[in-house]
Amino acid sequence: MLLLAALTVGGVGCSSGGGGDDEPNHTPPPPPRPIAQRDLVRHLTALQEIADRHGGQRAAGTPGFSASVDYVTGVLRRAGWRVRVQQVPTAGWHERSTAKLTVRGAALRSIRDFRVPSYAAAARADGALRAVDDGCQVADFKDLVPGEVAFTGTGTCYLWRKTVNARKAGASAVVVQTSTSGHGVASATLAVPRLGLPVVLMSRDVPARDGDRVELSVDAVTARDRTQNVIAEVGPSHGPVTMAGAHLDSVPNGAGVNDNGSGVATLLELARTFGPRPPGRVRLAFWGAEEEGLIGSRHYVKELTEEQRDEVAAYLNFDMVGSPNSVPAVYSDGDPKLGRLLRKTHPGKERGVLVGNRSDASAFEGHDIPINGLYTGSTEPGPGGKPRDPCYHLPCDTLANVDRAALLEMARAAARALAELARQAK
C-alpha cells in the first residue's frame, strides 16, 4: 500500500497568501485506502445476489451475466475509469430439458452423478459401454463396434478430441468418467460446437464397467448468440499499456463466486486503489464466455491491430484467487520476469502451476505478449490432501466457498504488481 500511496499524483490548488500572482500549490489528495476484506466481500456479495435473482447462475448468455456486466461497468465508472462494453459473437448452447442417463437400468442424477458438457449434440443413444483407453488416439477405438458408447476417462487431451475420434470410429455417444468425486460432477465444455455426438461426464462413484448397457438422452441447442467483454482504462490514451484481466462469467447452474467472482472483486478493488491518476496507462478486462472456451479474451486479442497489440507491455490474469483450501500459486508456464515480480509482491511461498490453455492469459501469450497470473487452486490436492476448491464448477461455489483472508492477500499482491508494471512501462 505504501507503493500505491507514493505513486498517487496530487491535484493543483491555489495559495491564499498575498504578494503578487497566486502560486500553484501541489497538494495531493488523500491516498486511496488500502484494499480491505470488507470491500472485496461487498463485490462478492453483489455477484452472489445477482445469481440468486437469476436462476442461480451468471453464465454467459444469461440474464445473470447481463446483470454482472451492469454491476461491473457501474463500479468502474464511479471509480473514474473509461469503460466500454465490447460485443462478442459466440455460439450459444443450452439444454432445453434435463438430460437422462441410465447404467444397467439404474437412473443417474443430473449434476450429482453426471453432467452434459456444453456443445454436446442433442441425441439419444442406447448401447454397451466400450472402454477406449484415454480416447486421444484413433487407435484407442480399434475394439469399438459401431453403435457402442465410447467409455473413457479424463485422459491426456481435450474433450473435443475424444469426441472427434469417437465419431470417426462410429460410436453412438461418449461417456467420460471423471477422476474426482464429492459434491457432484463439475461443469465442462467441449469448446467446439457441432461435433455431432452426445457426450456426458459421469462421476467416478458410479460403478460402471466395460460392457454395461447405458441409455442416454441429451436435449440441447446451439445457435448464434453474443456475449460481452467489459474493458476499462485509466491514464494516458496512448503509449505502453499494462493489462490485467479476470473472466466475469460463471459456469451454468452456479454462482461462480470463487470462479471467478474472486478475480472480478480483485480487479474492482484494484481499480479503486489506482485513483484518478495511476502510475501509467492501465487497462482492465472482464471477459465473457471464458467457461465456454476462452471466447471473450480470444476475440478481444484477435480484434486488436498489430500496433495495438504491440502497445500491451504485459498481461496479468486473476482466475480463482480465493479458493477455500488455498495454495497460492504463480503461473510457472508464464513469463519468468513477471513470475518473479508476483512472488516479490506476495509474502507467501507460492507454488508453480501449469495453466496452459485453461484460462484467458493464453490468448495473449499466442501474440508474444508477456503473461502471468495468480491462482489458489481448483481440483488439485491442497492442505490435508483435500481439493483446493471442492466446489469447482459446481452449484456450491457460493459466497460461503471463498477463503476471504487468502483473497485479500492475492488482491493486495495483484495491486502492487500491476502498479509496479505500469510504472516500469511508462
**Cβ neighbourhood burial of 84 (10 Å; 0-12, 13-18, 19+):** exposed
Identify the CATH number of the domain defined by range 105-211: 3.50.30.30
Close Cβ partners of 381 (under 8 Å, ≥ 6 residues apart): 387, 388
Question: DSSP 3-state assignment of 212?
Answer: coil
Architecture per CATH, domain 2-11+34-91+225-425, reads as 3-Layer(aba) Sandwich (3.40)
Rg of the Cα atoms in the chain: 24
Distance, CA of 147 to CA of 129 (rounded, Å): 10
Cell of 127: 448401447
| Residues linked to residue 114 through DSSP beta bridges, in sequence order | 110, 202
Domain ranges of the chain: 2-11+34-91+225-425, 105-211
Residue 25's pLDDT is what?
A: 38
Cell of 109: 442424477
**Residue stretches of the chain with pLDDT short of 50:** 1-30
232 Ramachandran zone, left/alpha/beta (phi>0; psi -120 to 50): beta
- In a 13 Å sphere around the CA of 116, the CA atoms on its Cβ side amount to 27
Residue 9's pLDDT is what?
A: 26
Distance, CA of 231 to CA of 66 (rounded, Å): 15
Residue 346's pLDDT is what?
A: 82
Per-residue pLDDT tens for 32-74?
Answer: 678 999 999 999 999 999 999 999 999 999 999 999 999 999 9
In terms of Cα–Cα distance, which of 58, 39, 72 is closest to 415? 39
Distance, CA of 316 to CA of 371 (rounded, Å): 6
Distance, CA of 324 to CA of 383 (rounded, Å): 10
Residue 61's pLDDT is what?
A: 94
C-beta pairs of 46-52 under 8 Å, 24+ apart in sequence = 46/71, 47/71, 47/255, 47/256, 47/257, 47/261, 47/264, 47/265, 48/255, 48/257, 48/261, 48/398, 48/399, 51/250, 51/254, 51/255, 51/256, 51/257, 52/255
